[in-house]
Structure 1
Amino acid sequence: MTEGAPVTDAAGITRCPWGAVAGPMQEYHDTEWGVPVHGESAHFERLTLEAFQSGLSWATILAKRPAFRELFDEFDVELIARYDSARFAALMGDARIVRNRLKIQATITNAQAAIALREEGGLADLLWSFRPDRSPEPRVAAEVPTTSAESLALSKALKKKGFTFVGPTTMHALMEAIGLVNTHLLECHRRQAN
């Protein structure tokens, strides 16, 4: 078997290799990854979780996602933008999430930036304005890009608007997660669904 090739299970369902093992990652692969989300909070959640994932595995973030949702008020930017030093300290003290000082501060900063973006159409509109004309067509995992011209441009645009922890690789992962770009392998059963 070629490394990074699509994997077909006993039921004949073919998936990207990272989603081939039964469990939370497969459930995420089959039902969420690459599916467009709607609303400011949903987009802000994905932006935030991709930033927290930087340097870690997505499985770690996925396992902690319920706690992230609880502790970050379901990613309501109005509430997060007003977090004070006591709330920051409480977040830093809660082992149910990734306790990274810079990433927690970035979440608060990014919530404030998201509110400011409303005057220009909002976070979702900005993100979707960077949708490429075409998605890559990877046959194996090694052909899946980790950045693109669009993710670089999105990163620059967000930084210009005051966002942090929005580098081109993180933005490419966000674009994949919310369906701006489809990087399911060509033989994956989710390729056409997205």
Structure 2
Amino acid sequence: MRERENEVLDRIRRGQLYTESEANFQDPLRRADLIFEYNSTRPGDAPRRRKLLERILGSVGARTVLLSPFHAGFGSNVHIGDDFFGNVNLTLVDDMEIRIGNGVMIAPSVTLTTTGHPIHPGLREDFRRFSKPVVLEDKVWIGSNVVVLPGVRIGYGSVIGAGSVVSRDVPPMTVAMGVPCRVVREITDVP
């Protein structure tokens, strides 16, 4: 059995297709009950919320604020740096790693997804899918209702405008927006 699991994990790492049935051995890594508990915890109970986040996420930095509710497929594949702020309704589809740097701010109703599905319906049997990591480098700011798709890296200090769908990498120190998301200018202003 272990050999089959390793073969599936290898395909997942390479961004190749795999099915729900093939990947179900990973279900113990899901943190659904803990996420439910976090979302039900009083906002003022910071120590309890912090302990839960440490159990839910793969790693979590200092001075992290994550407002409820948030959702994650696993939780254990998410790594957040220091000084993070995540507003309400953050959805993390973390079949693969999501890495969030230091000083990142995320507005309400943002989705970061590492997973997509084939376009052809014949290839979507048993919820067949592919996964690629998502990376938000330090000091990124993501506006409301943004969707970041599998395999995207958003560079240091960049700003993603509200309502954008980010389907390709965004270079550092730029403002990008739209559907599809495109760079509209560099950030050159000095505070």
Do the two structures share a fold, i.e. TM-score over 0.5?
no
What TM-score results when the alignment is normalised by the length of structure 1?
0.26
Q: Which has the higher contact order (CA 8 A, sep 6+)?
A: 1
TM-score (norm 2): 0.27
| Structure with greater proportional strand content | 2
